[in-house]
Amino acid sequence: MIYFVTGNRGKFEEAKGILGDVEQRNVGYTEIQADSLEEVAAFGIEEVKEKLDGPVMIEDAGLFIESLKGFPGVYSAYIFDTIGNEGILRLMDGIEDRRAVFRSVLGYAEPGMEPIFFRGELEGEITAEPRGSGGFGYDPIFEVGGKTIAEMEIAEKNEISHRGASICALERWLASR
Ligand code: IMP
C-alpha cells in the first residue's frame, strides 16, 4: 500500500485506477516556487517522507503551452486559480499554434530510502472552447485526437496521460525490484 499525498481527488482516482492499493492522505506539504516540476517534487517528497510512516508518493504537474513559451508551466496551479480556463482561452485568442504539453513528475519514497522520480508527458492542443465534464483543471481545454481530456473516462485518460505514464513507470519499477 502506498500513501498518495494530495488534496486533489481527481489525481488520486487516476492513481487508484493504475496502482489499486493506494490511499489518499491530505497531510499537505510545501509546494515551493521553483523553475522546474522536479525541484517542487524533490522538496515535497522529503517533507512527506517525514510525516508518514510507509511508502509515500506525491505528484506535481503543469501545462506548458508552446506559443506562450511554456506558460503557465510551474505556475499552472496559480494561473488556474486566478484566470482559469477562460483566461487561458483569452490569452490564446487569435493564436494559430495551439500545441501544448502536460508534464508530470512523481516522487516516491520508503522509510530509509532515497526518493526516486518518474516522469510523463502528454502532447495535445488547446481547444477554442471548453468541452466535457470529466477530469479536472485544464482537462476541458486540452484535446488529443479530437477529444478533450474532460470528454474521456479515467481509464482512457490514464492510457495516454502524463500522470498515467509517470504512475505506470513507478508501477514497473516496483514490480522489477
Ligand atoms: P499541481 O500538480 O496540483 O500543482 O497542478 C497544477 C495545476 O495544473 C492545477 O491547477 C491542476 O488543476 C492542473 N492540472 C494538474 N494535472 C492536470 C491534469 O491532469 N489535467 C488538467 N489539469 C491538471
Task: Note whether 1 and 21 are within 8 A (CB).
Answer: yes
pLDDT given at position 12: 98
Sign of CA dihedral 18, 42, 85, 142: negative
The pocket around ligand 1, CB under 6 angstroms, is made up of: 8, 60-63, 76-77, 80, 102, 135-139, 149, 163
Question: 145 φ, ψ to 5°?
Answer: 60, 40
C-alpha cell recorded at residue 74: 510551474
Task: Note whether 104 and 60 are within 8 A (CB).
Answer: yes
Half-sphere exposure of 32 (CA within 13 A, CB side): 14
C-alpha cell recorded at residue 42: 524533490
Catalytic site residue 60? yes
Residues of the chain falling short of pLDDT 50: none
pLDDT given at position 35: 96
pLDDT given at position 57: 98
Question: 125 φ, ψ to 5°?
Answer: -135, 150
Question: How much distance in Å is there from the Cα of 112 to the middle of ligand 1?
Answer: 30
- Cβ-based neighbours of 113, under 8 Å, separated by 6 or more: none
CA 81 to ligand 1: nearest atom: 10
pLDDT given at position 111: 95
Task: Give the global pTM.
Answer: 0.97
In the chain, where the domains are located: 2-176
For residue 140, cis peptide bond before it (omega within 30 degrees of 0): no
Q: Which fold does the domain 2-176 belong to in CATH?
A: Maf protein (3.90.950)
Closest-CA residue to 70 (of 37, 41, 96): 37
| Catalytic residue chosen out of the listed positions 60, 81, 93, 139 | 60
- Cβ-based neighbours of 16, under 8 Å, separated by 6 or more: 22
- Cβ-based neighbours of 7, under 8 Å, separated by 6 or more: 26, 28
pLDDT given at position 116: 98
pLDDT given at position 65: 99
